[in-house]
Structure 1
Amino acid sequence: MTQAAPLSATARDPAPAIFAPRGGLLPRLVDWILRHPRVFVFLMVLPITLWLGLVYVGSLIALLIQSFFSIDEFSGLVVREFTLKTYGELLRPYNFDIILRTVLMAASVTVASAILAFPIAYFAARYARGRWKAVFYLGIMLPLWSSYLVKVYAWKLVLAKEGILTWLFAKLHLTWLLEAVLAVPVIGGNSLSVSYLGTFIVFTYIWLPYMILPVQASLERVPATLTEAAADLGATPRQNFRLVILPLALPGVVAGSIFTFSLTLGDYIIPQIIGSSRLFIGQAVYTQQGTAGNIPLAAAFTVVPIVIMGIYLWAARRMGAFDAL
């Protein structure tokens, strides 16, 4: 047997590290963090978690605590004692009407946005290609680039009694139709700019893009082969839409409704500029907190949309709506 040659000094010594360990406590700590990905991810997420936990969630908890206080009717000072008196005030006819009015408006805007958004989103998902799809996205996103207040005040001028819409109805000899609509109880008024119908139109216009995009994303996920297979099996276009397309696109509709419903529920600027003097929840919060100084009642009003949206989000999650966001 031949004896193996002894290893050279170069072969016995380990190869030098590419980066030599750095001295000092802080560099060593940084190196240790980089060698442990989970710790690194935790430290990266920690600031935003603290922000959401302390500022956002903390403010909601403080708001909830304020809603269990009451205000002294004689001195106008907040009595910091646990009571359900403030929530009892929400059930008074005047305050309950505000909640009901806001929920009905939010639901109406959501339904109208879904009806208007679906054909637009379907065309974009099925037929728009290349440059036309870019035009579609530009047309949907362009209104979002302009100022929110500018759009609302522009609609105020359009819907006014001396606005272009009234002029257009007059030119088409349809003034009688506009007057008949404005004469309808509840939704009518002296003009569209001071009516619930005008508020509904502006809400729908402002939040419509937030419905179109999730619906379009949901329809993009529906394979064209499914509709072709349904047609081959004898399904009519109506059956194809009702049994194939709509169930698969429903999560996108629900996802869009999260935006339209919640944004309408909490908005106070549009009803303040366009509409009657009857308050919505956002206006009630602004009035009670700013003008009346009744912070507990304002906090109780704020809890209402939080509870409603909590239930709504739970139902939306059960329907898989978050997959279309």
Structure 2
Amino acid sequence: MTTRHGERLRLAGLLAPPLIWLAAAYLGSLAVLFLSAFWTTDSFTTDVVRIWTTDNFQQVLTVPVYRTIALRTLSIAVAVTVVDALLALPMAYFMARVAPARLRGALVVAVLTPLWASYLVKAYAWRVMLGEHGLINALAAPLGLHGPGYGTTAVVLVLAYLWLPYMILPVYAALERLPEQHLEASADLGAGAWQTLRYVVLPAVRPAVLAGSVFTFSLSLGDYVAVQIVGGKTQMLGNVIASQVTLDLPMAAALSAVPVVLIVCYLTAVRRAGALDSL
């Protein structure tokens, strides 16, 4: 009993510093952010006035432009997640089940390599490619087509590219763990390729896809740099919040609560599907 008590004390001593840091720096800052959303701003000096009010939340819920931006941000985050899932599944399957074992490590490194480059470098590279005289228009011109230019489509493309590795890696890990006997049994029972994909592969990787979607969805929901670089006139919650910080901090805090609530709801939903166990 004494030994167990000592082990618990040592474990508590090891976990206490990071837990205290998490509570103070992360949860504490979120609490202060949420609290400041109930304050107001002096219209003349733009100073924060600590007077309790719910006007900021009422504006977020009732002003049409805020609802439109919130729905657009949510739609972009969902679109990025769907695009990444559709791209990650065949790529991860090739890496885990088709490529020779000696090449799999190199393919994983190739997937991770873009993460080592600067976010801004990659975003501005896409800005060059999506420009009027960029690579995409040059490739599309012989076909009589035109690139998407700057706008919502460009934001989805750039964010899907940026977050694709976060979707590929958990799906690759799930496919690598998929027993070969399951695929062989499906073939022995007369299932075709599509039936095996639907009834064997997809159920096995579903938690991994949801786990990857946690990253793609949340990162897209909070992004504000890519939309400034390739979004044109498109506005998302992130850049609206950034523009409000210096003008109306309480309103920025109220707007910040929207993605936080959406992410919490999404995490709650995917947790029930067992996605967090695949992270």
Does the CA contact (< 8 Å) of 2:151 and 2:234 recur in 1? no
Structure 1 residue 57 corresponds to structure 2 residue 27: yes
- Name the amino acid aligned to 2:46: G
Give TM-score scaled by structure 2 length: 0.94
Give TM-score scaled by structure 1 length: 0.81
Structure 1 residue 310 corresponds to structure 2 residue 274: no
Equivalenced residues, count: 277
Q: Distance in 1 between matches of 2:40 and 2:71?
A: 23
> Structure 1 residue 67: deviation in Å?
1.2
Aligned residue number for residue 7 of structure 2: 37
Question: Which has more helix, going by share of residues?
Answer: 2
- Name the amino acid aligned to 1:101: R
Q: Which moved more, 1:76-85 or 1:114-123?
A: 76-85
Structure 2: gaps spanning 5 or more residues: none
Aligned residue number for residue 206 of structure 1: 162
Q: Distance in 1 between matches of 2:131 and 2:230?
A: 10
2:254 to 300, 303, 306: 300
Aligned residue number for residue 103 of structure 1: 74
Superposed CA offset, 1:83-109 (max 9, x none): 221111112111111111100000000
% identity of equivalent residues: 42
Alignment of 1:276-291 (within 5 A): 276-290=232-246
Q: Distance in 2 between matches of 1:132 and 1:221?
A: 17
Q: Distance in 2 between matches of 1:134 and 1:99?
A: 40
Q: Distance in 2 between matches of 1:71 and 1:279?
A: 23
Structure 1: gaps spanning 5 or more residues: 1-31, 183-191
Q: Distance in 2 between matches of 1:209 and 1:236?
A: 30
**CA RMSD, Structure 1 to Structure 2 (Å):** 1.9
Alignment of 1:203-242 (within 5 A): 203-242=159-198
Aligned residue number for residue 52 of structure 2: 82
Does the CA contact (< 8 Å) of 2:34 and 2:253 recur in 1? yes
Q: Distance in 2 between matches of 1:88 and 1:220?
A: 49
Superposed CA offset, 1:44-70 (max 9, x none): 211111110111110000011011222
State the secondary structure of the residue aligned to 2:89: helix
> Structure 1 residue 74: deviation in Å?
5.1
Q: Which gives a bigger RCO, structure 1 or 2 (Cα 8 Å, sep 6+)?
A: 2
2:145 to 177, 188, 192: 177
Q: Distance in 1 between matches of 2:132 and 2:73?
A: 25
Does the CA contact (< 8 Å) of 1:67 and 1:297 recur in 2? yes
Does the CA contact (< 8 Å) of 1:215 and 1:324 recur in 2? no
